[in-house]
Amino acid sequence: MLSILKKEITTYLSSLVAYITIGVFLLVLGLFLWVFPDTSILAYGYAGLDSLFSTAPYLFMFLVPAVTMRSLAEERKEGTFELLLTRPLTNIQIVLGKYLACV
| 47-102 per-position pLDDT tens digit | 677 778 888 888 888 888 888 888 888 888 888 888 878 888 888 888 888 888 87
Model's pTM, two decimal places?
0.69
* AA identity, residue 76: R
Instruction: State the CB neighbour count (10 A cutoff) for residue 35.
Output: 10
- Distance, in Å, from the CA atom of 32 to the CA atom of 42, rounded to the nearest integer, reads 11
Contacts of 32 (CB under 8 A, 6+ apart): 39, 51, 55, 59
